[in-house]
Amino acid sequence: MEGQKDQAFQSLSTNVGTFSVQGKTLLIPEMNRIGCHLLAAVFHGFGVRAEVMETYQGLDVGREFTSGKECFPCQVTTGDILHHMAREQERLGEAFDAKSYIYFMPEAGGPCRFGMYNKFQRIVLDSLPGMQDLKIGTLTSDNAYSVSGMIEEKRATDFRKAAYMSVVVSDILDRLLWRIRPYEREKGGADDLIDKAISTISECFRNHAAGKNLNPILDGLEEVVREGCDLMDPRIPRKPLIGIVGEIYLRTHSQANQDVIRVLETYGAEVVNASIAEWVNYTAYDRLRQARIGLRKSLRLLRPRKIGEYASKVFTFGLSLLYQQSKQEQAYKRVRPLIDLPGDHRVGRLEEILKEKDLFSFDVGTEACLSIAGIMEYIHDGYDGVVNVYPFTCMPSTITSAIAKPIATRFRVPYLDTPCDGTYQPGREAAIRTFMYQAEQHRERALRGGGS
Ligand code: SF4
């Protein structure tokens, strides 16, 4: 019995970690549709077989293997991997070999449960015959998602740069979709364009991601944006602008959030969702911030070895953040002459907002840092409403709701919480409709010059 327990614990370290993906099939769970496909294309560009798994089809299985206390994204992703592997077993029969796959499940450190999904899923996989050999490949926000060990060392930096660009390009395509869909001349035109763009831009990443010149990818993106602009009917007046914040998986996984953006659009909204790059930049920023704190402390205590260590970290993380921000800016600059897409606020600016207003602290961490400050920025930028999308019981999002809701009310900006757990909530559509009525009134008030 003791021996079995040891073995089970050992599996959490030997079969969950950063493994080389060369020669394996890397299984990527779908979160935001565009981003996951572009990331898979980047892996292909670097010679890695990567596959985005079908999502939400295995939710029943996911529920069967969870108790209901886990976060909803854990149930969905558990279902995705079990469903996918069952299908692979069926498809390959005797030839099926769990060793030939790596299941990709990143994690985040901090006071949150995301760091435990892959451990939990390891336990589930180990309980199933034939699945003990399926390794879980993980990257962690603790080192700003370093890929060393996963991709061969000499190509790791190039891979990281291309992967970051795929995140930015996917954010832009998402924002293009939300900018044009409410104003399209023909219903379905915007969705068709993005479906097509996922293939064409993926092809660009497959062909160019491993090269140092990412310009051809931006050329492809510019072309899609140009086509998108042509789909818009200029006679349709601008609609109330709604900003979304919340937990990254739920707010970007349209099945899990019951297509909240489309429902908001149905009731007259134009929507902007917080981006994925914002989270990636936040992890880089937080590493830099921690290094600065360490440096200050070592200087105060006069510890020369530590001073050198932290100074070098400040330099490395600072450089990496600068690189990310400049690439993000470069990509947005390419498309802005064609269409007015909102960009991201600098993470440093978001921290300043929290400090100025004494609302929350980056020392606590989690997405609440971004969501609370993000809501403040939406209010400042004149948005007509704010929606917080999150898994039921999500800790950072519940904190966000507790802090930001009273503020939005004080500024007379409509605010809506949309917790999701996969069940159909009969009152949800009515809540969204009421919220949009308030947002419409907010917009009319602002146009009359009444401000918030
Ligand atoms: S952010 Fe929310 S949903 Fe995600 S792991 Fe943390 S508590 Fe769970």
Predicted confidence (pLDDT) per residue in 359-377, tens digit: 999 999 899 999 999 999 9
Residue 360 in tokens: 């929350």
| Ligand 1, pocket-test mutation among 395, 399, 401, most atoms within 8 A of CB | 395
Tell me if 350 sits within 8 A of 377, measured CB to CB.
yes
Spans of the chain below 50 pLDDT: 1
Helix (H) or strand (E) holding 40: helix 33-45
CB of 396 within 6 A of ligand 1: the answer is yes
355 CA from centroid of ligand 1 (Å): 24
> How is residue 283 written in tokens?
């992890």
Cα 71 to averaged position of ligand 1 atoms, centre (Å): 6
What distance in Å separates the CA atoms of residue 249 and residue 134, rounded to the nearest whole number? 23
- 419 touches ligand 1 (CB under 6 Å): no
The pLDDT, as a whole number, for residue 113 is 80
- Among protein residues, the one whose CA lies closest to atom 6 of ligand 1: 112
Closest atom of ligand 1 relative to the 247 alpha carbon: 1
Q: What is the 3-state secondary structure (H, E, C) of 212-240?
A: CCCHHHHHHHHHHHHHHHHCECCCCCCCC
Q: How far is the CA of 325 from the centre of ligand 1 (A)?
A: 26
Nearest CA, atom 4, ligand 1: 114
Distance 421 CA to ligand 1 centre (A): 12
Q: Is the CB of 71 under 6 A from ligand 1?
A: yes
Cα(347) to ligand 1 centroid in Å equals: 20
Helix (H, G, I), strand (E, B) or coil at 126: helix
Tell me if 394 CB under 6 Å of ligand 1: yes
Q: Helix (H, G, I), strand (E, B), or coil: what is residue 18? A: coil
* Residue 427 amino acid letter: G
Ligand 1 lined by 177 (C-beta under 6 Å): no
What is the rounded distance in angstroms from the CA atom of residue 202 to the CA atom of residue 170?
10
The CB of 125 under 6 Å from ligand 1? The reply is: no
- pLDDT value at residue 145: 76
Centroid of chain to Cα 213? 25
Cite the DSSP H helix spans in 302-422: 304-335, 347-357, 368-380, 395-410
Mutate to test the pocket of ligand 1, among 75, 113, 283 (most ligand atoms within 8 A of CB): 113
Quickly list DSSP for 237-250.
PPPPEEEEEE-HHH
* CB neighbour list of residue 246: distance below 8 Å, 6 or more residues apart: 274, 367, 371, 387, 388, 389, 390, 397, 400, 418
Left if phi > 0, otherwise alpha if psi is -120 to 50, otherwise beta: which for 191? alpha
pLDDT at site 142: 73
User: Cα(305) to centroid of ligand 1, in Å?
Assistant: 37
Bridge pairing between strands 135-137 and 16-17: parallel
395 lines ligand 1 (CB under 6 A): yes
Q: Report pLDDT for 108.
A: 78
Q: Quick one: pLDDT at residue 359? A: 96
Global pTM value: 0.95
Supply the DSSP symbol for 140: B
Protein residue with its CA nearest to atom 7 in ligand 1 = 394
